[in-house]
């Protein structure tokens, strides 16, 4: 195997590995005023009650006055809005409440309070894109390479000497001599 084949193979492997990584993550901050267990479910905006969850947590136990951060990676373009279903159980496993709320997905470093908070539980969430994903739902993939860089929106900016939509065509300059 030549050195060029090895370099190409390594670059291809790195790209494939990066593409199967999560496109982003949804972090949910839970603050409980009493000991309880919580189960979270994120559904599509027009989901029916029996539709499955896009993202689902295990049962999360919280002590009274405890704060907990739950981070869930996602591997798909996240919808602009979503349904958040919060099931709240007491220490014996009896259901205290089930709240369903429509939330808006916004990529941000700040936590946003959820509409679905209850008297026992404050909920806030934030979303972030993986460094190689961009856009409102982390749907645009762009990872800088030798022939281009990525702008803040995930668009390819061709390096000097490269052109084309994918920055994969070499520019050839004729000598002016």
Cα separation, 30 vs 70, in Å, equals 8
Nearest Cα residue to 85 out of 57, 120, 119: 57
**CATH class of this structure's domain 24-129:** mainly beta
Residue showing tokens 């994969």: 168
CB-based contacts of 102, cutoff 8 Å, min separation 6: 45, 81, 82, 83, 84, 115
Q: Find tokens 């990066």 and name the residue.
A: 18
pLDDT at 14 (0 to 100): 39
Residue 57: closest CA among 128, 134, 125? 125
- pTM of the entire structure? 0.72
For residues 18 and 132, the answer to whether their CB atoms sit within 8 Å is yes
The string of pLDDT tens digits covering residues 21-40 is 689 999 999 998 889 999 99
Burial of 34 (0-12, 13-18, 19+ CB in 10 A): middle
For 37-76, the pLDDT digits (tens) are 999 999 998 888 888 999 999 899 999 899 999 999 999 8
Domain boundaries, the chain: 24-129, 139-171
Of the candidates 74, 84, 175, the one whose C-alpha atom is nearest the C-alpha of residue 130 is: 74
C-alpha dihedral, 103 to 109 to 110 to 111, nearest 10°: 50
156-170 pLDDT per residue, tens: 999 999 999 999 999
Q: Is the per-residue pLDDT at 17 higher than 60? A: no
């Amino acid at each position: 195997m030549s050195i060029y084949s090895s370099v190409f193979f390594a670059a291809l492997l790195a790209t494939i590995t990066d593409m199967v990584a999560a496109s982003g993550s949804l972090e949910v901050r839970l603050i409980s005023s009493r000991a309880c267990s919580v189960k979270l479910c994120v559904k599509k905006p027009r989901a029916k009650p029996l539709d499955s969850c896009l993202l689902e947590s295990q049962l999360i136990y919280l002590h009274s006055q405890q704060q907990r951060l739950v981070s869930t990676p996602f591997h798909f373009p996240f919808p602009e809005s979503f349904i958040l279903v919060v099931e709240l159980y007491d220490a014996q496993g009896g259901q205290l409440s089930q709240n369903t709320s429509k939330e808006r997905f916004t990529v941000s470093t700040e936590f946003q309070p959820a509409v679905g908070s209850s008297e026992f539980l404050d909920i806030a969430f934030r979303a972030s894109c993986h460094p190689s994903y961009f856009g409102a739902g982390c749907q645009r993939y762009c990872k800088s390479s030798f022939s281009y860089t990525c702008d803040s929106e995930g668009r390819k900016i061709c390096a000097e000497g490269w052109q084309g939509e994918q920055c994969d065509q070499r520019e050839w300059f004729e000598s002016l001599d």
